[in-house]
Amino acid sequence: MSTPYIGRLAPSPTGLLHLGHARTFWVAAERARAAGGRLLLRNDDLDRARCRSEFVSAMQEDLRWLGLDWDGAMLAQSTRFDRYRAALRQLHAAGALFACTRSRRDVLEAAGAPHEGGVDDEPVYPREFRPRVDTPLPPLDTPGVNWRFRVPDGEPLRFTDGAAGEQRAIAGRDFGDFIVWRRDDTPSYQLATTVDDGEFGVTEVVRGEDLIRSTFRQLLLFRALGLPAPAFFHTPLVLDAAGHRLAKRHDALALRTLREQGVSPAALREQFSRELTPLVSRPLP
């Protein structure tokens, strides 16, 4: 490898880590170990309403119980608002944004699409809500607006995922203009994770395959901000008995619950190894 490998773990302290998190984080740790690289821990604590300090402590304890470790001190996104605001100013100066006053309900009703509330399932932003390209931008301190990134309509995008293979999308068709800064003065996941991964030199992002579509949005942000884009490695999801992806409400599969039931970390790691070794051993970026 021409560049030293840097990976990262990025849990959000909105609940207890579950089996799906554990498997993805094990893959990330194994990829970093195989490369002789570094593994960073990032606390994605931007959701002011749902993040809890007790979950921050719990996630670190659960990761160590599983046998995972990281390099250096944990990074908290809540301490990096100055960097995210600098990125917002850069995008605003480049004319890459527009101010959106539409409510979430407006967007959902106009798009006519169901929405489950996740990062990667937002409907395509209706084109009729978009201001013209030549519309002057209001200042960034304008109250009561969300700032959206204007995607290049019709541009074909592609990347080769280390786990899922070649991925393609058309901007404006498969995903639309997306929020980078919210009206409550909070950066979006898309902006914050792009800035952090770029500025900390992450060379490969390992995460669940439910975030594949987010990658296209982030690749546009990497380009617009002039930041180096990492490689991506999206792992298969752990599903519950009904075939749904795990969420933090699945208390029965929380690592804390499994631990209390006597499940050993060695048994979990062995299970992950049996299931995923062929995937984990794919060539490094």
pLDDT digits (tens, 9 = 90+) for 185-234: 999 999 999 999 999 999 999 999 999 999 999 999 999 999 999 999 99
The correct answer on CATH 3.40.1160.10 for the domain covering 6-280 is no
pLDDT tens-digit readout, 12-33: 999 999 888 999 999 999 999 9
pLDDT at 247 over 70: no
Confidence tier at 47 by pLDDT (50, 70, 90): very high
Q: Sign of the CA dihedral 76, 232, 20, 24?
A: negative
Give the pLDDT confidence score for residue 285 in this predicted structure. 78
The token pair at 190 is 């898309």
pLDDT at 137 over 50: yes
Cα–Cα distance, 85 to 161 (Å, whole number): 30
Is the model more confident about 121 or about 167?
A: 167
Mean pLDDT, the chain, whole residue set: 91
Give the pLDDT confidence score for residue 250 in this predicted structure. 47
Give the pLDDT confidence score for residue 31 in this predicted structure. 97
Q: Taking the CA atoms of the chain, what radius of gyration do you get in angstroms?
A: 19
pLDDT at 162 over 90: yes
Helix (H) or strand (E) holding 148: strand 146-149
Cα–Cα distance, 86 to 83 (Å, whole number): 5
Give the pLDDT confidence score for residue 222 in this predicted structure. 98
Cβ-contact 238, 268 below 8 angstroms:
no
Nearest to 2 by CA among 39, 37, 41, 29: 37
Phi-psi region of 261 (alpha: psi -120 to 50; beta: other; left: phi over 0): alpha
Cα–Cα distance, 242 to 263 (Å, whole number): 23
Domain ranges in the chain? 6-280
Cross-strand partners of 222: none
Mean pLDDT of all residues in 237-260: 67
Give the pLDDT confidence score for residue 190 in this predicted structure. 97
Mean pLDDT of all residues in 90-94: 98
pLDDT at 159 over 60: yes
What is the percentage of the chain residues whose pLDDT exceeds 90?
A: 79
Cα–Cα distance, 199 to 25 (Å, whole number): 21
Give the pLDDT confidence score for residue 117 in this predicted structure. 47
Confidence tier at 116 by pLDDT (50, 70, 90): very low
Nearest to 196 by CA among 110, 118, 279, 82: 82
